[in-house]
Structure 1
Amino acid sequence: MDSLVFVQNIKKFCDLKGVKPTVACRESGVGTSFINNVERGQTPSVAKVQMLADYLGVTTSELLGEKTEPTVQDDGLTEGERALMKQFRQLTPEQQDMVLRMVQAAADNQQ
């Protein structure tokens, strides 16, 4: 694990989510000193990396900066739909519920 990349990714995904890294660490349950500990060379547990990734709405691979081979996208989604899903995953559960209610309301008005 490259701790510098990991910490940069934490900060990047926090910025995308609109939360401060210390807030994300506290609210995810990994602890407010998590980033400082990683910067000092402490290797975080898999469970804590997963907790933070879940909170930020990303995969542990994305958070750790692991390079993955692109997969064939045969899911029937357009590029726009995939981009929307990526943004949706970065929302809090409450924000996701709000978006789903808005989409449902819009769909109901089409009928």
Structure 2
Amino acid sequence: MNKELFVKNIKNICLAKGIKPTVACRESGAGTNLINQLENRGSIPSVEKVQFLAQYLGVTTSELLGEEGPHEEGPAQPYLVMRYNSLSPASQDKLMTFLEYLVAEESKKNMSDSDT
């Protein structure tokens, strides 16, 4: 197990999801001190702790361990929802207006592509 890659993946996935790594470790049941133990004590986590953390973060254990790349293309939906919910109501309205504009533009583009 590449512990440095494992810790890096935990931190990157948490950053992308807007979760603090210590919170993810605690709430998943992997243990609040997991990252500290990996970085400073050279501990190797149990399979169970890796599974708990992967499940909590919504990734496979292989992705978390760095054995394979992420399967998603673009940000995960829960992340987008979390970011949307963090906006003020006025900003949410602006975002929805812009989103509807983008959808309309894509629809126009698709219609003109199908006419050719």
* TM, length-normalised to structure 2: 0.60
The structure with higher relative contact order (CA 8 Å, sep 6+) is 1
Residue correspondences, number = 78
Cα deviation, 1:40-83, whole Å, max 9, x if unaligned, reads 21110111000000011111011001147xxxxxxxxxxxxx62
What residue number does 1:9 align with? 9
Counterpart residue identity of residue 17, structure 1: K
User: Gaps (5+ residues) in structure 2?
Assistant: 83-116
Counterparts of 1:16 and 1:24 in 2: how far apart (Å)? 12
After superposing on structure 2, the runs of 4+ consecutive aligned residues of structure 1 that deviate more than 2 Å are none
TM-superposed CA distance for 1:31, in Å, is 1.1
Correspondence for 2:85 = none
Spell out, residue by residue over 1:87-109, the C-alpha distance to the aligned partner (whole angstroms, 9 max, x if none).
Answer: 13xx38xx7xxxxxxxxxxxxxx
Q: Percent identity?
A: 60
Partner deviation per Cα, 1:13-63 (whole Å, 9 max, x = no partner) = 000110110111111111110111111211101110000000111110110
- 1:83 partner SS: coil
- Which residue number corresponds to residue 19 of structure 1? 19
Which aligned pairs between 1:1-80 and structure 2 lie closer than 5 A? 1-39=1-39, 40-67=41-68
Q: What 5-or-longer segments of structure 1 have no aligned partner?
A: 69-81, 96-111
Larger of the two Rg values belongs to structure: 2
Amino acid at match of 1:57: G
CA distance in 2, matches of 1:41, 1:83: 33
Bigger fraction of residues in helix: 2
